[in-house]
Structure 1
Amino acid sequence: MDYQLPRGISQRNGILYLSFSVQGERYRESLGLPATKPNIKHAELRLQSIKYEISVGTFDYLKHFPNSRKAEKFRRNSGCSLLVADLLNDWLKRAKDHCAYSTLKGYASVINFHLIPRFGALTIDELTSLMVSDWLSDLKVSGKRKRNILIPLRQALSEAMHDGLIDRNPLLTIKSPKHKTREPKPFNKQEVRALLSAMEGVGRNFYWFAFETGLRTSELIGLRWEDVFIESKYIYVSRACVSGRIKETKTSSGTRNVPLSESALECLADQKEHATNEDGFVFFDPKSNKRWKTDQFPRKRIWKPAVEKAGVEYRNPYQTRHTYASKLLSKGENPLKVAHYMGHSDWGMIRKVYGRWIVDR
C-alpha cells in the first residue's frame, strides 16, 4: 500500500529513508524499516529529533546511523572518537585482500606488540608526530625494523586523512629511520671446516649446501629433489618456506638456476643416503623426518651449538650466503652471474655489499 510521506521522508524498494541537511550539505540515510504506517510515524518523529539536534548543535551522526560510511566524516566533530587500536585493526582487515600471508603476519605482529600497546588507547586526533618520534628514539631495534613497524601506522593514518577523519597525517613529518647495511663477515676456509666438523647428518648437509650454493635458509627448506638436476649440475630455485608455508619466490629474479660445484654434488650424494622425507624435500628435520617450518629450528638446534663447539666467532646463518658470494667474486667470477645465482635482479646490490671482494680484470 502506498502512503503519503511527510516532507524529508522517502522510500525506495519499500524501505524508508530520511533526508536532512548538516552544515549546508544534504544527506539521505536508510532506516532499514519497511514503509508501513507505524514506521512512517516513527520516521517522522526520528526526523524531527534529528533536525532539533542539528539546530542546537548536538547532532551525533554516529549515534543515529552507526553503520553509515557517511558518518566517518563527522568523527572529528565529536572529538574523533576512533581509537588508534580500532583504526589499525580495521586497516589490517582490509589488508588481507592484497597482502601475502607472511606480510600480513608481520603487520599483525607489529600492530599487536608495538603499536597498540603504545598508542592504541589514544584517539587518532590525539596522536602527534612528537609522540611517535620520541617513542622511536627509545625503541631498541634497527632502523630497518623501525621502518617496518611504522608501515601499518603510516598507511592507516593516510587512509584516515583521505576519508576526512583527520586533517593531517602526523607521520608525514617523520622521516624513515636510516638503515645501516651490516658489513658482511664471511667465514674463511678454516672456519667453514670447523663448523661442518661440529655437525653431522642432515644438519651438516643442510649448512654444507648453504655454503656451496648461497641459498637463503627459506629456499633450502623449500628445495625438493625434483628441483635437483645432478647430471646437468644445477638446481632450480622456485620456492621458499615463509612463515611455515611453501610459496613461490618473492620476485621473478628469485626464480633461478644455481650451478652445483663438485663439493655441492658430494653433499647431495651424502644427503641421498639420509633422504627419507616422504614429501620429497631435500632437507628436513632429522628428528621428525618432516620439513622444517621456519629457519628458527635449524638455527637453534644445529647452527648455534655447532658455532659454539667449533669455537668460531658467532655470525648468523645468513653469513653462509655472504661466504658463497665473496668466494666466487674473489675467484674472479662475473658479478652479473653472481647476482643471478643469488636471486638479485641486477648486480647493484652485489657491487654495494661485496665491492671489496670483486676482482678487477
Structure 2
Amino acid sequence: MPRRNRYQFGNLELQKRTKGPDVWIFRYRDRANPAVTRPAITLGTTRDFPSQADARRAAEGLRLQINSGLPLREAVTFQGLLDRYVSEEIELGELAHTTKEVDRSRINSHISPKWGKCLLKDVKPYLVQGWLRKLPVAPKTKGHLRGLMYRLFEKAMLWELTPIERNPMGLVELKGVSKRLRAPRILTEEEFVALLNQLLQPYRSMVLLAGCTGLRISEVLGLRWHSVDFERLVMVVKEGYARSQVTKLKSEYSEDELPLDPDVATILLEWKRLCPESSGDWVFPSPRTTKPYDSSSLRQKMLKPAARRAKIPGSIGWHTLRHSYRAWLDDSGAPLGVQQKLMRHANISTTMNVYGGAFMEAKRKANTSVVQRVLAPNQSK
C-alpha cells in the first residue's frame, strides 16, 4: 500500500557561525527521495530575522511550495502567499521582465509592509479598499496595486491556499484610478525640431524614431536591423530591451507592421553606415558594450539636457515623445481606427474599435502626414 503523503511543516534550525551572524536553516523531507538526508535551505541571518517568529514567517512561502497539492493544516499568512508569488511568478514565471520588476517593487514597497503579517483569510476587501483610498500615491498606482492584489488572490485559489470562489478583490471599488496627477507633456512640432537640433548621432536617430513612430523607448532600444525593411519601407517591432534584458512586448497588439516614412528611412540608413557592429544586430548598440543603451541613463544624461538646451519648458521623458506622436496624429485628422493601429493599442475605446483594421496605405498616409509636418520646416532651413 503506497505511503500517504502528509502535510509537513519543516524544521527551523539556528546554525552557529564562527564569523558573522548565525544563520537560520529550513529543513524538510524530499518526497522524491525520502531516504536522503533532509534538504536544507538557508533563509538568512539573525540580522535579517532577529527572532524565530520572523524566520518562521520567512519560511512560510517555502512550506507552501513543498506541500503543494496537499490540504492545509495551518493558517496561511499573506506573506507566505507573497513569497510563493515571488518565487514562482516573478523569479521563474513567464511575465515580462519589466512587469516582474514592477510587481516586486510594489510588493516590497506597499503590499508586504501593510499585509505581510496578516492571515490570508483576514485580508478583507473593505480593508483593502480603505487602505488604497488613503494611500498617498497617484490614482493610477492605486489601480495597479488593486490589480496586483486581485492577481495574488487568483493565485491563492489556484494553489488551494483559499477556497475557490469569487475573487474578493473584485469587490474593491476605487474612483478615478485612470486619472493622472498631471496631464502628460505634449511637445509642439517646433519644440520637437528644436530638440532634434540639439542632438548628435545616435541620439538624434533614437529621438527621431520615437517621435515619428510612437515607439516606446524599450522598443526603440530593442529594434534590430533585420526588423527594418528599407525596400518595403516597413518595420516590425518584435521585442523590447529594458534593464539590460530583452523583454516581451506589452501585448500581442504591440507586434505589428509599421510604416517607415521615406525621410525617416533615409536618416536611419545614414545612421546604419555609422552604426557599430554588434552580435545582436542592434540598431542602437553602445560602442562600449555592443548592447543597447540603458533608457534611464539616456533620459538623464542625453534627453533632459538636450531639452534644456532647446529651451523646452517643463520636464520631459521618453514617453513624452509617444504622447506627442499620438497628439500629432489626432491633429492631422487621422481616423481613430488608424490611430489605434499606429499606436498599437489593444483598446483605446469602443468608439475607436468600430473602425476595424487599418490598411498599410492608410497607416502610411497618417504617419507621413505627421512626419512631413514635423520635418519639412526643419529641412527648408
**Which bin holds the TM-score, normalised by the shorter protein?**
0.5 to 0.7
> 1:99 & 1:256 partners in 2: Cα distance?
21
**Residue segments in structure 1 that go unaligned for 5+ positions in a row:** 1-11, 19-31, 33-65
User: 2:189 is aligned with what amino acid?
Assistant: K
Partner of 2:228: 228
> Relative to structure 1, is the Cα distance of residues 92 and 195 closer, same or farther in structure 2, using a 3 angstrom cutoff?
same
Give, in angstroms, the shift of residue 346 of structure 1. 6.1
> Relative to structure 1, is the Cα distance of residues 88 and 225 closer, same or farther in structure 2, using a 3 angstrom cutoff?
same
Mapped pair 1:305 → 2:301: no
Partner of 2:152: 156
> Relative to structure 1, is the Cα distance of residues 307 and 16 closer, same or farther in structure 2, using a 3 angstrom cutoff?
closer
User: 1:174 is aligned with what amino acid?
Assistant: V
> 2:130 & 2:67 partners in 1: Cα distance?
36
Q: How does 1:298-337 map to 2 (within 5 A)?
A: 298-313=298-313, 314-337=315-338
Alpha-carbon deviations, 1:201-254, whole Å to 9, x = none?
211221022112211111111111111222322222222224533245343332
Alpha-carbon contact 2:224-2:283 (below 8 Å) kept: yes
- Equivalent residue pairs, number: 289
Alpha-carbon contact 1:216-1:321 (below 8 Å) kept: yes
> 1:151 & 1:331 partners in 2: Cα distance?
35
> Relative to structure 1, is the Cα distance of residues 287 and 311 closer, same or farther in structure 2, using a 3 angstrom cutoff?
farther
Mapped pair 1:89 → 2:83: yes
Mapped pair 1:114 → 2:110: yes
User: 1:153 is aligned with what amino acid?
Assistant: M
Alpha-carbon deviations, 1:5-25, whole Å to 9, x = none?
xxxxxxx14x4899xxxxxxx
Alpha-carbon deviations, 1:261-314, whole Å to 9, x = none?
24312321331243004132111335544212x532321221111122222122
Alpha-carbon deviations, 1:66-107, whole Å to 9, x = none?
9585541x43xxxx3x22211221233343676424233332
| Partner SS for 1:258 | strand
% of aligned pairs identical? 23
**Residue segments in structure 2 that go unaligned for 5+ positions in a row:** 7-30, 32-65, 354-365, 370-381
| Partner SS for 2:145 | helix
- Residue 173 of structure 2 is aligned with which of 172, 175, 197? 175
Q: How does 1:334-353 map to 2 (within 5 A)?
A: 334-345=335-346, 348=349
> Relative to structure 1, is the Cα distance of residues 250 and 189 closer, same or farther in structure 2, using a 3 angstrom cutoff?
closer
Give, in angstroms, the shift of residue 165 of structure 1. 4.6
Task: Point out the structure with max Rg over C-alpha.
Answer: 1
User: 1:268 is aligned with what amino acid?
Assistant: L
> 2:266 & 2:115 partners in 1: Cα distance?
55
Alpha-carbon contact 2:96-2:247 (below 8 Å) kept: no
> 2:323 & 2:5 partners in 1: Cα distance?
67
Alpha-carbon contact 2:337-2:352 (below 8 Å) kept: no
User: 1:135 is aligned with what amino acid?
Assistant: W
Partner of 1:36: none
| Partner SS for 1:235 | strand
Partner of 1:26: none
User: 2:95 is aligned with what amino acid?
Assistant: A
> 1:70 & 1:236 partners in 2: Cα distance?
47
> 2:126 & 2:238 partners in 1: Cα distance?
45
Partner of 1:100: 95
Segment drifting more, 130-139 vs 275-284 = 130-139
Partner of 2:19: none
Across the aligned residues of Structure 1 and Structure 2, the Cα RMSD in angstroms comes to: 3.5
Q: How does 1:210-225 map to 2 (within 5 A)?
A: 210-225=210-225
> Relative to structure 1, is the Cα distance of residues 332 and 304 closer, same or farther in structure 2, using a 3 angstrom cutoff?
same
| Partner SS for 2:120 | coil
Partner of 1:43: none
Alpha-carbon contact 2:186-2:320 (below 8 Å) kept: yes
> 1:16 & 1:134 partners in 2: Cα distance?
44
TM-score when normalising by structure 2: 0.64
| Partner SS for 2:241 | strand
User: 2:275 is aligned with what amino acid?
Assistant: A
Alpha-carbon deviations, 1:320-351, whole Å to 9, x = none?
12322333343333433332222134663895
Alpha-carbon contact 2:237-2:254 (below 8 Å) kept: yes
User: 1:88 is aligned with what amino acid?
Assistant: L
User: 2:327 is aligned with what amino acid?
Assistant: S
Give, in angstroms, the shift of residue 134 of structure 1. 3.8
> Relative to structure 1, is the Cα distance of residues 351 and 83 closer, same or farther in structure 2, using a 3 angstrom cutoff?
same
Alpha-carbon deviations, 1:179-221, whole Å to 9, x = none?
1167454211221122122222211221022112211111111
| Partner SS for 1:201 | coil
| Partner SS for 1:324 | helix
